[in-house]
Amino acid sequence: MNSKKKGKIFSIFLIAIITFVIACILILLVGTSPIKALEGFIKGILGSSYNISEVLVKMCPLLLCSIGISVAFQTNFINIGAEGQLYIGAIVATIVGIYFNLPTPILLIVALVLGFLFGGIYSLIPGILKSKFGVSEVINTIMLNYIALGITGILVKTILMDKSGYFPMSSEIEASFPLIISRTRLHLGIIIAIILVFIVQFWLDKTQSGFHVRAIGQNVRASICAGINIKKGILLSAMISGGFAGLAGVFEILGLQHRLMVGISSDFGYTAIIVALLANNKPRNCIISSLGIAALQVGSLSMQRYAKVPSSIALLIMGIIVLLHLGNEALFPFLYKEETK
């Protein structure tokens, strides 16, 4: 094992220790015992089958969005728009669920296909602006998030609004993805998401188009010299990235909420950026990082109930983890020293 690989392994343990110490200090500052808070955290994520299922429920949209973001990052297409793309997928799923008179299995498949397609098309807008005109995708994707939220707000107050209710939300959709565990909210989406991880990783590692996507991100100039179509690669990664976020929206509507409204996402699209960064933009690593972030979010809510620890501490911890992860080689240079023979 080379020194860089050893350094990465040791840095993970070091980051975990530093994060734990900082978390204990923050908990002490709010006047609570770290032991009691830890007990509440563990109960929140492992206390029952329902609690475990809630972590996986939270993990599903994070995993799907982070897969897409990691693919976009492969071509240096910085997709900050997964939140908006998720809402586009949710809108499509709602329209399919309300207006398409199809048997449930077929309806679910149609919703997934159209959700992926429209989420991808929505992501293509900043993709085209970047590849054709060199316009920064960062600003465009952020602005498109607000546009998607605005479209959602208009639809749930007009043509999609439940006429029998008073609140801006769509009528209830009967079609639903089957539950994996009864009396929980855990649905088939998590299994589909995990399967898609390995499909995407295989595509990146073993296919020509996947190699082209990775090559563009590693060295644009060399890719041009090798005859790789840079614009095509960027557009492909943008389409796939938005498509996966769109799938997350489909699962949120037809797996959990069954109604469209503003606020169906707990900032999944933004949090997924953290997941992708912690996974080093590798889809297979997104499984662990999305599970960890989901556990942190669910556990922090349990700490708040059990030990009166503000759940906002989870945001601080996530920020600390990202900073330590991104700067680990600069912060811990002694872990990466070349071995002398």
CB 238 within 8 A of CB 85: no
pLDDT for residue 340: 43
Full-model pTM: 0.93
Q: Indicate whether 32 belongs to any domain.
A: no
The rounded distance, in Å, linking the Cα atoms of 317 and 320 is 5
Residue 130, in any domain of the structure: yes
Question: Domain for residue 34, yes or no?
Answer: no
- In sequence order, the β-bridge partners of residue 187 are 179
Residue 62 lies inside a defined structural domain of this protein: yes
Residue 78 resides in a domain = yes
Domain of residue 194 covers 47-332
Q: Which two tokens stand for residue 327?
A: 């700067």
How many domains does one find in the chain?
A: 1
- pLDDT tens series, the chain, 341 aa: 566 677 777 888 888 899 999 999 999 998 889 999 999 999 999 999 999 999 999 999 999 999 999 999 999 999 999 999 999 999 999 999 999 999 999 999 999 999 999 999 999 999 999 988 889 999 999 999 999 999 999 999 999 999 888 899 999 999 999 999 989 999 999 999 999 999 999 999 999 999 999 999 999 999 999 999 999 999 999 999 999 999 999 999 999 999 999 999 989 999 999 999 999 999 999 999 999 999 999 999 999 888 888 888 888 888 898 888 888 877 777 777 665 44
3-class state of residue 81 by DSSP: coil
Q: What is the pLDDT of residue 1?
A: 56
For the domain that residue 174 is a member of, what is the CATH number?
A: 1.10.3470
Interatomic CA distance for residues 283 and 62, integer angstroms: 12
123 lies in a domain? yes
Q: Rounded CA gap, 130 and 164, in Å?
A: 44
Q: What share of the chain is helix, strand, coil (3-state, %, to 5)?
A: 75, 0, 25
Amino acid 341: pLDDT: 44
What was the pLDDT predicted at 312? 85
On whether residue 30 sits in a domain, the answer given is no
CA distances from 148 to 29, 178, 222 (A): 39, 28, 37
In-domain check, residue 42: no
CA 324 – CA 310 distance, rounded (Å)? 22
